[in-house]
Amino acid sequence: MRADLETAETENGPKPTRKGNQSLVTGFQIIDFLLKQGKAVPLRDISKGTGIASSKLQFYLISLIEVRVVHQDPESGYYGLGPYTLQLGIAGLQQFDIFDAARPRLDDFANEHGQSVFMGVWGNQGPTIVHRVSGHYSRTLLELRLGSVLPVLRSALGRVMFAYFPDDVTKPYIDRELSDTNQMIADVDPEMPAPRSAASLRDLRSAIKSIGMSRSRGGLLSDHTAVSAPIFDYRGKIIAGITVMGPVNGMDDSFDGPVAADLRRVAEEVSQEAGASTTHYLHI
């Protein structure tokens, strides 16, 4: 067996796995700690936060400073992220493609849960479906074709975007929907009832942000329910939403159920690839 492979036990027996460079892992542990601090910190804080002895830590910091990944303030002696990390961040954002990040995860989600799952963005006409995957329980839904524009208040995707987008973006659409009696739906969801006033809109936004997800039962189709989770970017701004939709009596749409938990995980993973930190997701 090659020297750079070690044996890992799996349920199917021994499996060779690659052995990495521990020094690189330790270096990135230091970088990750500095990233999460948001400011320059003294050596003792880095040592305490990473569990690396100060004497050993200094050797890593010298090298990280040399390659401009870490910067030491000449007056305070504190350590923070260096200028090269900014270049890395910009390059990473330029190479990020939300479709590449989301597509395989949505495929896996649809295969696992068997329901339709789609990603949507805010287009020039409102919440718009840009990618969809059907599961083995899905039926053809004309309302969920690529390019379909969904209502803000009657769809889970629209609701999650309403919760996180600025009012000046969503208000014209919401005013139009509230004035159209054909857009009204029955209150079939006690946790997220259909809004009918400014006060109920505030309650809906508060509920979505508190949970970190939205839901719409019977909004688009009377016999279907949908749950949506937001995708954030490096600024903590919503850039898309991922929604799963299925029959009311055929899909668990509870926020603490396995479907919602998996949806939350997928949205969080895509958000992290877009540069969002754990403080952005969830409960903003």
Going from N- to C-terminal start, the domains of the chain cover: 5-94, 96-273
Which residues in 41-74 are b (16+ Cβ under 10 Å) and which e?
beeeebbebbebeeeebeebbeebeeeebbbbee
Residue that wins the pLDDT comparison between 229 and 197: 229
Give yes or no for a contact between 80 and 71, defined as CB atoms under 8 angstroms apart.
yes
Q: Are 122 and 161 contacting, i.e. CB atoms less than 8 angstroms apart? A: yes
| CATH of 5-94 among 1.10.10.10, 1.10.3720.10, 1.10.287.110, 1.20.140.10 | 1.10.10.10
* Beta strand pairing call for 79-81 and 238-247: unpaired
The pair of three-digit structure tokens given for residue 46, joined into one six-digit string: 């880095």
pTM of the complete model beyond 0.85: no
pLDDT of residue 141: 64
The mean pLDDT value for 211-226 works out to 90
Percent above pLDDT 70 for the chain: 85
pLDDT score at 8: 44
Q: Is the pLDDT of residue 279 over 60?
A: no
Residue 17: its pLDDT value, please? 57
Is the model more confident about 8 or about 261?
261
Alpha helix stretches (DSSP H) within 197-255:
198-211
Amino acid present at 212: G
Task: Convert the pLDDT of each residue in 104-142 to its tens digit.
Answer: 999 999 999 999 999 999 998 899 999 999 888 777 665
Q: What are phi and psi of 63, to 5 degrees?
A: -70, -40
Residue with tokens 């309302």: 143
CATH node for 96-273: 3.30.450.40
268, amino acid identity = E
